[in-house]
Homo-oligomer: A and B are copies of this chain.
Amino acid sequence: MYSLSQIAELVDGEVQGDKDTPINSMAPLDCAGEGAISFCAQRKFLSQLKSCQATAVLVKQADAHLVSQTAIVVADPYLAFAQISQLFDWRKAIKSGIADNVFHNQATVSKSAQVCSGVSIGEGSIIGENCYLGANTVIGNNCIIGEGTRLEANVTLYDGVKIGERCLVHASAVIGADGFGFAKKSLGWQKIHQLGSVVIGNDVEIGAGTTIDRGALSDTIIGNGVKLDNQVQIAHNVKLGDYTAIAGCTAVAGSAKIGENCTIAGLVGITGHLEVAAGSHITAMSLVSHSIKEAGVYSSGSAIDKHQNWKKNVVRFKSLDALAKRVKKLDNAVEVLLSKEDKSKA
């Protein structure tokens, strides 16, 4: 339970109405009830304000006069909503201590850290202040985990992985597995042992089931403030620039270098050994097969269609080059005909 003035202070906003109004939850405009705070981030939702049952609303200065409820006036209602959401998070405050059955060996675990049951911590690893290690998480040897970082359940960190401060790693993520590197030999493949590791910056979030491989010779690098959704695959020696965000199931192949502040949608494929310019946006399910040199919005793929139509078109795609050549020929023939026409008129 928070008072409206406590919340306003957090988001640097101004209360319009009773500062002591108690707030106990958050909700969207259309289903907020007694005690809830809601937000109106886009003009198109202004019409919902009238019927909204929320106890308080976050609005911009320009819209403040339209609100009959108690309100907090802020510069960016959506950002303010995001900031307030931490007050109602489901996670309990961490409770320092080590569950009975933890097995670590010459590891250094800070006194303030919470280590849940079944965790394994390897030799030489260092767990920083206020870290949380979820149940059955496995930390290899010589890992370093920065202050305030939280690893949920069943996470695996291989040897030598470094994670910065205030990171959040979701369940079943795997960091530091071998990169996929083999040399062809007469029969089959010779493994290239992956001698690098993974270095992750501060304030990084890593989704459930996401995998980040260790480098072949040097390290795989994840910048500060990077956000990775679930089931993302980051191959060996990739470099992700600061604040880049990648949505679910996207795969980045080996040694790709993604600039800062990129936003990459879901199920995108980025092939290896290329660069993506800082600030680029890639739409869902695109294949980035060559470097992107200037920031912009990029896409590939085709759009959903009725299967019956699609089937006919997809067959034609197989002779698109021939079609283009035929059109070129027609172009020439028609030009000849038109010029004859002109002459015959003249």
Interface residues of A (CB under 8 A from B): 25-28, 31, 76, 78-79, 81-83, 85-86, 88-92, 99-101, 103, 116-118, 120, 134-136, 138, 140-141, 152-154, 156, 158-160, 168, 170-172, 174, 177-178, 180-185, 187-195, 197, 203, 205, 207-209, 211, 213-214, 217-218, 224-225, 227, 229-231, 233, 235, 242-243, 245, 247-249, 251, 253, 265-267, 269, 271, 282-290, 292, 296-321, 323-324, 326-327, 330-331, 333-334, 337-338, 340-341
- How close is A258's CB to chain B, nearest CB, in angstroms? 14
Q: A304-B288, A337-B341 are in contact. Are A316 and B321 (CB under 8 A)?
A: yes
Contact yes or no, B192 A213, CB < 8 A: no
Cβ-defined contact, A323 with B327, below 8 A: yes
18 pairs of residues in contact across A and B, judged by CB atoms under 8 Å: A27-B218, A76-B183, A82-B181, A82-B183, A91-B159, A156-B171, A180-B207, A189-B243, A191-B205, A247-B253, A267-B269, A292-B304, A299-B304, A299-B307, A299-B311, A313-B319, A313-B321, A317-B317
Beyond A101-B103, A227-B189, is A333–B323 a contact (Cβ under 8 Å)?
no
Q: A337-B341, A338-B333 are in contact. Are A189 and B266 (CB under 8 A)?
A: no
Cα-based distance from A297 to B89 in the complex (angstroms): 41
Closest Cβ of chain B to A58, distance in Å, is 12
Which chain B residues lie closer than 8 Å to A271 at the CB level? 265-266, 284
Q: Which residues of B contact A304 (CB under 8 A)?
A: 282, 286-290, 292, 298-300
CB pair B180 A230 closer than 8 Å: yes
Known: A158-B152, A191-B85, A192-B85. A296 touches B303 (CB 8 A): no
Which listed residue (B152, B154, B193, B334) contacts A172, Cβ 8 A?
B154
Please report the C-alpha to C-alpha distance between residue A227 and residue B192 in the assembled complex, in whole angstroms: 12
Taking the closest CB of chain B, its distance from the CB of A331, in whole angstroms, is: 7
A321 to chain B, nearest CB (A): 4
Could you tell me the distance between the alpha carbons of A54 and B323 in the complex, rounded to whole angstroms? 54
Q: Contacts A298-B304, A310-B300; is A207 near B211 (CB within 8 Å)?
A: yes
A120 contacts B120, CB within 8 Å?
no
* A243 proximity list for chain B (CB < 8 A): 187-189
A296: chain B residues at CB < 8 Å are 306-307
